[in-house]
């Protein structure tokens, strides 16, 4: 029997799949998240997402549909990963203050020998933040496990003046694109 496997520990991705009514199993995969130099932001997240899919395939039956994703924040073409400590988070948020950055997510759907990888990019415009606002946000604790040191779905929404593109992509999973990808594997989300 075919079933959907989400190869991600991200609670946000799990929440988003639940919001659109998909039933799935979660597995945890360890894969190398390094990537070759010189890739564009979209090529980077696609490369990492595909590597996660290859690692997850060994844990799935050939008929299972495996979903993997990788989300990264880019400012001036440079990746902002998860902060290593509060000082790093402060540095990232200060750099994002008053500027527009991009959030790219690579999504891979695979089943047996068939693999489809796509990417979605959203432009995010930050408000101008003073030191007090950044310190207050850091006290929420949201920064430490998120690329770019913020999450748009809670207190981080107070930092964002606007977005251009898929909101859910900024949370970690572009749902519209994903639904179109799943249709190519026979899964209709709006059935």
Helix and strand numbers (H, E) in the chain are 6, 7
Q: What is residue 12's three-state secondary structure?
A: helix
Pick the catalytic residue: 30, 32, 64, 70? 70
What is the spatial distance between Cα 135 and Cα 133, in angstroms, rounded to a whole number? 5
The pLDDT of residue 1 is 53
Sign of the torsion formed by the C-alpha atoms of 47, 150, 5 and 28: positive
The predicted model scores a pTM of 0.93
Q: Which CATH architecture has domain 4-183?
A: Alpha-Beta Complex (3.90)
Alpha helices, H only, the chain: 11-19, 41-57, 86-96, 131-139, 167-171, 175-183
Give residue limits of the domains in the chain.
4-183
What is the spatial distance between Cα 155 and Cα 107, in angstroms, rounded to a whole number? 26
Task: Encode the chain (191 residues) as per-residue pLDDT tens digits.
Answer: 569 999 998 899 999 999 999 999 999 988 888 899 999 999 999 999 999 999 999 899 999 999 999 999 999 999 999 999 999 999 999 999 999 999 999 999 999 999 999 999 999 999 999 999 999 999 999 999 899 999 999 999 999 999 999 999 999 999 999 999 999 999 998 87
The pLDDT of residue 9 is 86
The pLDDT of residue 190 is 85
Q: Specify whether 70 is catalytic.
A: yes
């Amino acid at each position: 029997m075919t079933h959907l496997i989400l190869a991600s520990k991200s609670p946000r991705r799990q929440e988003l799949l639940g919001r659109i009514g998909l039933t799935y199993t979660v597995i945890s995969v360890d894969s190398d998240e390094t990537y070759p130099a010189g890739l564009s932001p979209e090529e980077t997240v696609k490369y990492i997402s595909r590597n996660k899919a290859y690692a997850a395939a060994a844990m799935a039956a050939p008929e299972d549909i495996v979903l993997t994703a990788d989300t990264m924040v880019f400012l001036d073409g440079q990746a902002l990963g998860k902060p290593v400590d509060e000082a790093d988070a402060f540095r990232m948020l200060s750099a994002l203050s008053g500027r527009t950055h991009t959030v790219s997510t690579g999504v891979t759907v695979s089943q047996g020998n068939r693999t489809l990888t796509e990417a979605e990019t959203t432009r995010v415009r930050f408000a101008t933040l003073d030191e007090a606002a950044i310190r207050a946000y850091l006290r929420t604790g949201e920064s430490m496990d998120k690329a770019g040191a913020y999450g748009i779905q809670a207190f981080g929404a107070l930092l964002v003046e606007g977005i251009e593109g898929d909101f859910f992509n900024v949370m970690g999973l572009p749902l519209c694109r994903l639904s179109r990808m799943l249709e190519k594997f026979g899964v209709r989300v709006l059935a």
